Structure 1
């Protein structure tokens, strides 16, 4: 698949069609020049004869070889021509393969320059006789001087039906001029210069997905882009080495240099002077772009010789100039290729010199010093610099860098027990604030078997491992068991034990009932009341307040109002950020939407300032869920999708984002997409999920089934959610589930079951402060009793939250008037709820109310009308005409007419040509 080259390809095709034409394609090695030309040739070129010649870096002298090479196979075409210009005979002696089809060669003039000019004329006449033709000359930077002169002649006055395409690397062209002298296409020759740049991260992702045949994560694509600098050839070679384990970003650093790239770098190194080679080796050891002076110091090249050596390394395409006068390699694999040429002693010596040089830099580059110490075999230096670098990274909020360094330090053999204890504690603490969960959890698991760990440290390590496991898919039950075991080991550290109590007592994790968790919350609250540690008190308060809000404790809001918005100390600020974000999350679950927005903004600000990437992730995710409730749907699907890509491995975040995406898809009638996302909320694995999200996922699945008029399946999905609510004993989380469950029972003719759910719901909410569930209870009663007044009351309660979509649904169920239905159409349209708007339009038509439109009836010309846009999106997502008719409440014939207009307006041949992302 050709990626990111539509404009260059279009330019080439346009030039070839407007002959005579000259196109020059330039770009560095591996950027895809030949691939672009091949795509041009493989396309529809009509009657053009394609002639391809190559220039070679080494080999026997072959004057004019590139062009003559392109003509070797034209014998059969010449055999069909009636008569050739006699001057073409001069080509025969140079190309015996086609000599029999040419006139006899004329005698030499005795003047080499005249003979050469006659040869050029003969080749031009031969190309003219071949008719419409495309002459491609690859790798012009390696061309012999004769070929350049010949091409200048042909391109200066090409036959009228000839297109010439040449490719070259400008950096390797002698003198920087591909044809040896400046060239400008004469009139009326069409001229175009196509410069190819490396792919960006999105292009690398598209190319990788095409090669692997499956979607690739943004993380993997970004890491691959970093390793390959976006050069398509290098990307393909790396993926070739990863064919057995594609898509794992962690494996990229271990990928060896592809053979072709290694050989290319070896050839370039061999052509350099000794001093330039030493600079390249120093750059490979340093690993990051460096100033010329530092390169010279590490390479032991005198200051007076550095500039000359550097110029050679740059012109030899080994080193590249980065920004701010620093020099390094084009990409990581080029650097690795040079590094691999060093002997073991040579590497250690260069790393030692790098340490000596970098120790003089202020501020000290601790990560680089740690890396060089490890490579030089200086274990003490690696420990000293590595721990200092990890501390600095943690202070700056870069938990991923800190945990990576700490893991490497702990992997060192013969590390003293005191160092193991200290580093293990740091690893657990830092990992808890970051996003890198899997690797630190595995490292902590290995440490738990280390006999050097003291008992209290072992308990702390186990606690942090449990906290990491809570966030991993399929590990919630294991996490809780690990934390409970850790608490038993922390008798001498009641402060840490209290953290374990607080997590074990959280009501929203897994399916253990709130009653059974009460003892852990009581223990955590008791310790909080007795400690003077501000950071610890705030940490425990963050869990306590959100837990109380989640179960609808009516006294929680008063305490939350006293929560500060600022605090001293980085650790305390992180915990205050967590408190505000936890409170915002709980408020979103139970319906205090206006208050939730303020706490989320405050928590996000504090977490960003104090360096808490995991807390930042939870705040961004909860904000997406809050936007769903409050009707802020513009761009929400794109935002939630991007967040899911970023946080896919973190259960608390991924489940909630999947919920938002599933609910949005359901409002558009995209049932398969909705079901897929809603199934990823934990609805089918509540024991490993966040309970409120799993319950809402069940509600969403039941709603999809109801929309498809499958009452039995809707009951099954609703009862799955009700089972979670009952096992947890928290009816505060049934706000979204209650009305759907009641509707499912009523649709299945199970009126008594619907009444039973309403009774349970009412008992569960008695004395609880849960605004969204309170509105839902009123709606449930209205549904069971058939009371329009109750449903309108519920709509008013939803609107006050505000929850405009839920308010609109309740209004629709309250036997609305024609005018109210028309307003609902506009309300659903404004949100983007395509399916709901279509349903209300259908009801209006049934009632004889016509089809309203806020836009008025106007002609859309070649633009898509709103209805056509709805059809286009459903077509692009793979729906059949029958399915679209069901979603939009239209006849199949009407959908067929809309679909035909959509394809015509968008210039698509079939629905498979439609791109959902490209639609307005």
Structure 2
């Protein structure tokens, strides 16, 4: 209770039905006086002057003045107080009598429900406020409801039960008590789901609806579980004025049947109403409401549901509108609204239907999008966008550019078409200067254009991502989150790449059709950062799009290359080769495509991967040869040359990197590492140079590449101590660093003798000392001595560390497949 205490001669208690006003009234009356005279209003009293006072004053009371005098005499006795419950049902004359008695300072306590427009009740309230206090009651919180539940149970109430009751009753204590008692009477023992509204609740709701009047009753029966229904539609369905709907909701709220302050029935009241109303009557209500929603342009989704529930046909236009309403939030459900909808005979509507289906198919990740859009003629800007998006999903940005260019009509083409065209030009090597920034829709292409030009502005990429998340338009070709994260990754900005990819997943921008792409981008960035546990391929069903298949195959190849798993490298290449050999490349997929090309070099498929590097070289040239992308591509070719043991190609790419402007990150680190690779492959190992180059690579988001360089240098040097130091540094930088890099004789190059190398190889394979001794014709004790010497020379403290080094080097001694 909340009160504004003044004197103790009068009290006012106002609360919705089932909020506990009667209990509060009895408590207040006991505080004010010792002898309580009770009056209770009834619905029948509204039209019967002074009838409510008859039980205490007698039938002789004929008018307001006489009744006031008689009631004042009754209350004049010491300790006597009048307690009036349900005053909202009293007739105007009785209310006037009570107001006059209160103004005389006599003790009166009154409780009633909120009621608008009752002038006489308002006058009584004003009199009570002048002489006493006001208490307002309403729903209780979960904590406040717990004592009421405990009183019914006779023991402390479980929190889960209190929360369940609170959800069912909106926190009204009287309704909570009635519901719980009904559940208990019907045998519920707090296990499993409780039964629906018990009979006692149904009867109580029935009585309160009867008291609330015809309009309020029909409103409750019609709305049921639906909330947010427009007043215009309800008024039309019930054939009343809109103001009557507002009054009916007030009545239902005052009676404790609707959620206070909301035009929505309380959950358990809904259950009670559903038990009260016959199915045939419910069907009539829903059909009337469905028609009214159509006629008043109400919520299309709700209209479809209403009409479908009655079996009534849903007009095609309403189904299309319902799909539009759900397009961004639930494209799968939106598609369901269009299921089975054939030609309408209206050419414009059929065109809208085909485009909408195709858009939803793209957003939901359905391969049917192509079939739905195939019937539309060219040129058509909206259809062109979808056809271009299908081409992008098929990893054919150049085809997307052709489609969009053919549909660029007029001097001011559609905003989405203009943005898509700019994006396609960027992907296929267009100059960044052609992208404008006069429009929020262009923020994405403009931010990506800056990256393509060599100016990686993370703030602009994030601004574009935020704009896409707020936009009501759905990204059709791709999202700045996905392509931006891949470009940032290629440029070594792994922090920005991770932010963009995770935002794409978290906000579901682009819908379910791009969800896997964002998760793959997250895994890609995690792999590049050496976060192996987060770099796993997403486990949900594979995407139908070739672009996602290429990214997934590149992810598998990258993980396999970093662990030395030749079979997985081969698997990833086989999965992507068909798409790659089509010769279509794009800037956004530069890093994944080159990862697959490096995998091919590792397998010995140099010629089969040549189109990737050739196509990307032409693309970067078309871009105007920005140093950033020329350098990144040269570095990726160098990595491929190292994998293929092509020292001449390594030197060629190192020369290319050396010739570039060294002021653009990450070019200085890449050029320095390239020079070091040339030296190491030539047999020259300068520890400081190798370490500096590796750390520079790590500083640009290339820790694995840095560890790889140190691992190769460790195997080239003739100094065992230097090898151990480099190998330990490589392990610290990246645990899988040397898996790929050792050549034949690697164990001996670590400073081991020929016999120690033989023992080490068998230890790495998991053989016991006894088994090793049997194979080498030496005793187990001698094997143990060799192992101790191996650990000493490797500079490792535990057997586990020794096995890690030996197995990583031993894996690399396997000959590369041809």
Q: If the length of structure 2 is used for normalisation, what is the TM-score? A: 0.49
Find the structure with the greater CA-based Rg: 2
Q: TM-score, normalised by structure 1?
A: 0.44
